[in-house]
Amino acid sequence: GGEEFVILLPETDALTAQNVANRIRREVETQVLDTAMGSVSLSISAGIAELAMEEDDTLEGMIGRADAALYAAKASGRNRCLIYCGAATLKTMRI
């Protein structure tokens, strides 16, 4: 379970966006929540995609690719940030 949200970074390439996502991921994983049932650790996974301006791309298409990368990140172990690089290739760069 978890929430999904979109962060749009205008004029930012995928590698820079991945660096931003990894900074957020590292900060989140340092947080521990104390609950009545004990401590809870947090993690996030992120999917990153660029808007392909020269190919009549759409915002919906970009979000769909980011969503595919997000699910690949979850499937490959969670707590990681993946860039969408095509249907067959998702690039991992965990920092």
Active site (catalytic) residues: 3
Q: Are 58 and 65 in contact (CB under 8 A)?
A: no
Of 36, 42, 45, give the one whose Cα is nearest residue 78.
Answer: 45
Give phi and psi for 47, each to the nearest 5.
Answer: -115, 135
